[in-house]
Amino acid sequence: MAGTIKLSSGYEMPMVGLGVWRMEGKSIRDLLLSAIKTGYRHFDCAAKYQNEAEVGEALEEALQSGLVKREDLFITTKLWNSDHGQVLEACKDSLKKLRLDYLDLYLVHFPIATPHTGVGTTASVIGDDGVLDIDTTISLETTWHAMEDLVSNGLVRSIGISNYGIFLTRDCLAYSKIKPAVNQIEAHPYFQRDSLVRFCQKHGVCVTAHTPLGGATANAELFGSVSCLDDPTLKALAKKYNKTIAQLILKWGLQRNIVVIPKSSKEERLRENFQLSDFTISNDDMDKIKAIDRKYRTNQPAKFWGIDIYE
C-alpha cells in the first residue's frame, strides 16, 4: 500500500489510484472489481470519459456484495468545459450515473468554458474557423464559487482543479473561500513540472499526476507522442531496482509527494502498479531521473481543438 495524503479539506486521499479514461463496456466491471480486490480504493473518473454509468454499475456491485464499504472508496470525477454554467446539474448527473450520494473529489477538468451542449453531453464545439468555441462570458471564478456550493450542499467532500498552471492556480487560491484541494496535471519524467509542483505543494494544493507514465500507447495513438517508458536511463534504473519501468516511474512520482493515477487494462499491470512500497529510489537516482526532463507534454488537445490552450 502506498498510503494516503491529507488534503486541505481534511480528507485523506489514497496516493495510488486507477484512472478509467478510455476504458469501455464490460471490461470496466471486471477491471474495477479486480482493482478493488487488489487493494485500489481511489478511482479517477470524468464526465468526458463517457463511462460513468458503467463505472457506477461496477461500484454498486462492489458495494452491495460487501467487497468494499463506501467510506473506504475515494471517487473523483470532473466537470466538463461545456458545463461551467451548469455546475450543480452536471455534478448531479455524474452522481446519478456513478450511483453515489456524494463525490470524494470534484475537479474542474480544464480552465476553459465552452458553449453548453446539454448536461453530460461533453461536446466540444469547433467553429467554422477550425478553432474551439470558448465561452468568454463565464469566468473561472464564477465556476469555482459554484463548485464551493456543492461542498456546502453535501454533494462533494473536496473540490479541485485540473490542468491549471501557476498563474491560474494562484488566482484560484486568491478568490476561493474553499481552497482547491488538488491540482491534477500531466506529470511524468519527460514533463516533470517542477515549478508548478513546488508552487502547489507550498500552498497546500495536493498534486495528482494524470498520464503519470507519459501516456504510453494511448497518447501515442491519439497525439502521436513519445513515451518515457522506452528511455534508456529509466530502463537501466528499473533493472537496478529489479522493478518494471512503470513501477520505477510511479515510485518516482510518490517520492515527489505526488498522487499517481495510472491507467491499465491488464490485470497483471494493475497488480504491478500497486506494488510500490517495497523499495525506495536513492537521492542520486532521483537526480538522474530529474536530468531526463524534456518539458514534453503528451496530452495535447490542440490536435482536436485547433488551439493550444496552454499558450
- Four-point Cα dihedral 21, 24, 30, 33, nearest 10: 40
Residues acting as catalytic residues: 49
Q: How long a stretch of residues is the chain?
A: 311
Q: Which residues are annotated as a binding site?
A: 109
User: From CA 271, how far away is CA 116, in angstroms rounded?
Assistant: 40
3-class DSSP state for residue 136? coil
Q: Position of cell 499491470?
A: 269
Q: Take residue 211 and report the three cell numbers written for it.
A: 498520464
Residue type, 101: D
Q: Count of CB atoms within 10 A of residue 11's CB?
A: 15
Chain CA centroid to CA 284, Å: 29
Strands (E) across the chain are located at 4-6, 12-14, 18-19, 42-44, 74-79, 103-108, 156-162, 182-186, 206-210, 259-260
- Residue positions forming the annotated binding site for substrate: 109
Within 8 A by CB and 6+ apart from 76, the residues are: 17, 42, 43, 44, 45, 103, 104, 105, 106, 107
